[in-house]
Amino acid sequence: MTDKVVVAPTPHAAHEVHHEELGFWRKYVFSTDHKVIGIQYAVTGLLFLLFGFSLMMLMRWQLAYPGVPLPLIGALFGEARMPGGTMLPEFYNELGAMHGTIMVFLGVVPLAVGGFGNFVLPLQIGAPDMAFPKINMVSYWCLFLGGITMLGSFFIPGGAAQSGWTSYTPLADIAGTGQTFWLIGMIFLITSSLLGALNFITTTIQLRAKGLTFMRFPFFCWAQFVTAFLLLLAFPPLEAAGVMQLMDRVAGTSFFLPSGLVVSGQALTNAGGGNPLLWQHLFWFLAHPEVYVLILPGMGIVAEIIANNTRKPLWGYRSMVYSLVFLGFMSFIVWAHHMFMTGMGTTMAAFFQTTTMIISIPSVVILTALIISLWGGSIRFNTPMLFAVAFLPMFGIGGLTGLPLGLNIADIPLHDTYYVIAHFHYVVAPGTIFALMAGIYYWYPKATGRKMNETLGKIHFVGSLICMNVIFMPMFIIGLAGVSRRLFDAGTAYEFAQPTMHWNAVSSWGAWTLALFQLPFIFNFFWSLRKGETVGENPWQATTIEWSAPSPPPHGNFLGTPEAYRGPYEYSVPGAAKDFIPQYEA
Amino acid sequence: MTREPSMRGTRNRLWLAVVLVAVSVWPRVAVAASSITGTVMFDGKVPALKPLAMDAEPVCHKKHGGKPAANEALVLGTGNSMGNIMVWVSKGLPAGKTYPVPQTPVVINQDGCEYKPHVMGIMVGQAYRILNSDGILHNIHTLPKLNPSFNRGQPATVKEMSTSFPKPEGMFQVKCDVHPWMSAYVGVFTHPFFSVTSADGKFTISGLDPGTYEITAWHERLGTKTASITVGANETKTQGFKFAVPAAK
């Protein structure tokens, strides 16, 4: 009898056992690998961003030249939407509702959380994959189904939803069939986000590399971690609300329909007893934390890139982390500042405007820390850094212009004007989207093994920065003049709107030029896959763990078992041989 | 010479065919020539309706000479004859018989922030042409119970739109969501036996077969009146209607 000695495999070697070659469908389509899923999310998000942007460009034609037939392509949209190329108000509403929905729920969130979160987070914490790879796959396919449902609604009789991205009741309850599709689509999207959030939280806590304490987390990990909690806790009320609104529409319930509702002079025959304001509360209970879901991953990306390209540790890292957590908590108790106009009492208004003023403090702390981090740095102005640096003033403008909207007395005249559009677009367009662009240029080498072209990247950046401001700065002027954001003809019928009409044309030309400046990015994205400069595992001389993996990382991510020995931003350490000490090097 | 008997045979067959067609069609032509005509009158004290103030829409205000427009809910002619009354055959038509749908559309025009005409009938499937002569934003919103609602904006530059109604339906309202005073009424029928009175109160329903019919007269506020009437072949019968404001309870 021979004694057999069984050697327990190391964690990574154990993983190697499962490295069987997968077929095309399991490897690239129904993949459980976080990197493939991350890329699926990112590409889906980018495509939806492009689609949502296209909807907006159509709207901008109507706003710049109300009633003028859209040349060349206008007639393609059919008599029911654009007879003779002239946009009908219903189509404008369709475009408006779907632009908002697609950009938020199918563009930015999938890219910021699904894309960057999936691809970068496990690598950054030294994990071989997500904690629940199959749930991760289901999460993506729920998003995909939600996206298909939303897109499909454009082709049903009556078209897509027209009740705004907020789907306020009772309007949404009695709107056309497109609204039903919107609700079904949202249920898929919310389910996707909830599954993703569970996975992110579990992965972050359970699969951290040895030595990677919470205070050694890169700021991006913290941002994704807090974001996951926001999604997990804020989305269920909207999912419940979505089901309730769906029941109102298809099953005859009256959750959001009051008694005695008269529409177009005709009394509705619903049971009544519901409350339209309940929808607003449930919607904004999600949608305000959602604002932070849109911005926190962006802050995380910008923090990584600023530390890397200033060759300095982040200034006030701990303050930033505490601010982030506090911000996440506070984001749950500010939602009703979107509802000052609903006639809430002064006590409630006072509460919500106080919490809103308080929540600005952690945002300012983070932004200030990032700005101070630039001070004295040996800054490398590569493309990711340019986008990251531009994020700071753009988000700053967006954030600071939000303060008047958080105060009851100032919100009343500004509510629902173009000022609001300008404010939140500065936060999410030249704000978040710049951060996401920075992230794409920064982690593209990790995903593909090649760098994107710098010249094309800089053309993309300069054009985008100028155009974003040309688009959104005039909206502050239009909004301060009191022009409503809902007018399909930009206010043609109103005397007070006349002095601002020309600004719409300026804004629209900015938008169309912005589209042109995305062409270098699109070309660069595909061209660099084959022709980009080949890079090693750490092209940016960065410190965090993802840069210890090969580029692109193999299945299982790391060649060895990564370990964290220090904090995430050990740049320019006095006396060190080089200007960075990776946290994964002993 | 050899072709003559053959030509005669052809000529005879042609005549035979003409006679057969004439014989078969003649009774139909003959019987479908009956008519019902009449006058609709208003009875009692004429109520004073509030004129339509259009100050909110300068283009239309100007079209009306800067004065409020007459309220079209009650259009009276000489001797209190009533306009804008829809009269139609509501019972008595042969079951299952179908009638050709006119190729010409029914036209409604938005002119001076008023619908012209104010009351109209249309057949199922007939084109409904919506014009915008004002050159301002209107919104045409039908409020049927049985047909799909049509609710579409018509910007200044969109001069014409079109729709149709797939189901028969009694009178329902058409309104403008931009200009709340704008209102019109449409009835959708499976047959062409309807007529709208002009200010002289007169209506004519022609092309009926001999038979007994129920005809209904409708006013947007004063409700409906019905009458039963029998017409013979090629006969024109007269049936009048009177509407009055119901006495206060």
Give the pLDDT of residue B19: 61
Give the pLDDT of residue A20: 67
Per the CATH hierarchy, to which homologous superfamily does domain A27-257+272-548 belong?
Cytochrome c oxidase-like, subunit I domain (1.20.210.10)
Local structure of A423: helix, strand or coil: helix
Are B157 and A488 within 8 A, CB to CB? no
What Å distances lie between residue B186 and A11, A193, B106, B183, CA to CA? 77, 49, 10, 10
Show residues of chain B in contact with A266, CB under 8 Å. 143
Query: In this complex, which of B141, B157, B175 lies closest to A67 when CB atoms are compared?
Result: B157
pLDDT at residue B29 greater than cutoff 70: no
Give the pLDDT of residue B248: 72
CA distance B30 to chain A (A): 44
CA distance B149 to chain A (A): 10
- Over residues A257-269, the pLDDT tens digits come to 999 898 877 788 8
Phi, psi of A114 (to 5 degrees): -65, -45
Considering only residues B190 and B56, tell me which one the structure prediction assigns the higher pLDDT. B190
- Over residues A155-178, the pLDDT tens digits come to 999 899 999 999 999 999 999 999
Give the pLDDT of residue A1: 40
- Over residues A201-223, the pLDDT tens digits come to 999 999 999 999 999 999 999 99
Both tokens assigned to A563: 């370990």
Are A207 and A122 contacting, i.e. CB atoms less than 8 angstroms apart? yes
Give the pLDDT of residue B73: 92
Of all residues in chain A, the one with the smallest CA distance to B154 is A88
pLDDT at residue A429 greater than cutoff 50: yes
What is the C-alpha to C-alpha distance for residues B170 and B122, in angstroms, rounded to an integer? 11
pLDDT at residue A299 greater than cutoff 70: yes
Parse chain A into domains and list their residue ranges.
Answer: 27-257+272-548
| Average pLDDT rounded to a whole number, residues A430-434 | 97
Both tokens assigned to A342: 């609903």
Indicate the average pLDDT of chain B.
89
Local structure of B118: helix, strand or coil: coil
User: How is B194-213 classified by DSSP, letter by letter?
Assistant: EEE--TT-EEEEEEEPSEEE
Show residues of chain B in contact with A88, CB under 8 Å. 152-155, 158
Are A488 and B141 within 8 A, CB to CB? no
Both tokens assigned to B135: 């050159």
Phi, psi of B42 (to 5 degrees): -100, 135
Question: Looking at residue A505, what DSSP letter applies?
Answer: H
Are B208 and B172 contacting, i.e. CB atoms less than 8 angstroms apart? no
Both tokens assigned to B31: 């019987």
pLDDT at residue B24 greater than cutoff 90: no
- From the CB of residue A171, how many other CB atoms can be counted at a distance below 10 Å? 15
Are A86 and B173 within 8 A, CB to CB? no
Of all residues in chain B, the one with the smallest CA distance to A65 is B157
Query: In this complex, which of B143, B152, B158 lies closest to A86 when CB atoms are compared?
Result: B158
Both tokens assigned to B100: 């050709």
Of all residues in chain B, the one with the smallest CA distance to A263 is B143
Are A265 and B173 within 8 A, CB to CB? yes
What is the C-alpha to C-alpha distance for residues B206 and A268, in angstroms, rounded to an integer? 39
Interface residues of A toward B, Cβ cutoff 8 Å, are 66-69, 79-80, 83-84, 86-90, 264-266, 488-489, 493
- Over residues B233-249, the pLDDT tens digits come to 999 999 999 999 887 76
What is the C-alpha to C-alpha distance for residues B105 and B129, in angstroms, rounded to an integer? 6
What is the C-alpha to C-alpha distance for residues A353 and A359, in angstroms, rounded to an integer? 10
Residue among A308, A299, A386 nearest A542 (CA): A308
- Euclidean distance between the first and final Cα of chain A, in Å? 44
- Over residues A402-423, the pLDDT tens digits come to 999 999 999 999 999 999 999 9
What is the C-alpha to C-alpha distance for residues B93 and A81, in angstroms, rounded to an integer? 40
Specify the residue for token string 């002095």: A499
Of all residues in chain B, the one with the smallest CA distance to A266 is B143
Are A488 and B153 within 8 A, CB to CB? yes
Are A88 and B151 within 8 A, CB to CB? no
CA distance B137 to chain A (A): 9
What is the C-alpha to C-alpha distance for residues A389 and A441, in angstroms, rounded to an integer? 14
Show residues of chain A in contact with B141, CB under 8 Å. 264
pLDDT at residue A11 greater than cutoff 70: no
The lowest-confidence range among A42-46, A271-275, A507-511 is A271-275
- Euclidean distance between the first and final Cα of chain B, in Å? 92
Are B154 and A86 within 8 A, CB to CB? no
- Helix%, strand%, coil% for chain B, nearest 5: 15, 40, 45
Give the pLDDT of residue A8: 39
Are B193 and B205 contacting, i.e. CB atoms less than 8 angstroms apart? yes
- Over residues A523-581, the pLDDT tens digits come to 999 999 999 999 999 999 999 999 999 999 999 999 999 999 999 999 999 999 999 99
pLDDT interval class at A18 (50, 70, 90): low
Give the pLDDT of residue B4: 54
β-pairing, B183-189 vs B169-175, is antiparallel
What is the C-alpha to C-alpha distance for residues A391 and A397, in angstroms, rounded to an integer? 10
Are A67 and B136 within 8 A, CB to CB? no
Are B173 and A69 within 8 A, CB to CB? no
β-pairing, B128-132 vs B106-111, is parallel
Mutate to test the interface with A, among B129, B131, B137 (most CBs of A within 10 A): B137
CA distance A91 to chain B (A): 10
pLDDT interval class at A13 (50, 70, 90): very low
Provide the H-helix boundaries in chain B: 4-31, 58-63
Are B152 and A90 within 8 A, CB to CB? yes
Are A107 and A114 contacting, i.e. CB atoms less than 8 angstroms apart? no
- A170 upstream amide cis, omega within 30 of 0: yes
Residue among A445, A462, A300, A320 nearest A390 (CA): A462
What is the C-alpha to C-alpha distance for residues B86 and A167, in angstroms, rounded to an integer? 41
Give the pLDDT of residue A262: 87
- From the CB of residue A575, how many other CB atoms can be counted at a distance below 10 Å? 4
Show residues of chain A in contact with B143, CB under 8 Å. 264-266
Give the pLDDT of residue A343: 87
pLDDT at residue A149 greater than cutoff 60: yes
Q: In what order do the strands lie in the sheet with B211-219?
A: B194-196, B86-91, B211-219, B223-231
What is the C-alpha to C-alpha distance for residues B209 and B177, in angstroms, rounded to an integer? 42
Residue among A326, A452, A449 nearest A386 (CA): A452
- Over residues B200-211, the pLDDT tens digits come to 999 999 999 999
Mutate to test the interface with B, among A68, A88, A90, A177 (most CBs of B within 10 A): A88
Residue among A474, A524, A535 nearest A499 (CA): A474
| Residues in contact with A136: Cβ distance below 8 Å, sequence separation at least 6, in sequence order | A32, A34, A37, A118, A130, A195, A196, A199
Please compute, for residue A279, the number of CA atoms within 13 A of its CA located in the half-sphere on the CB side: 24
Indicate the average pLDDT of chain A.
94
Domain B34-244 belongs to what topology? Immunoglobulin-like (2.60.40)
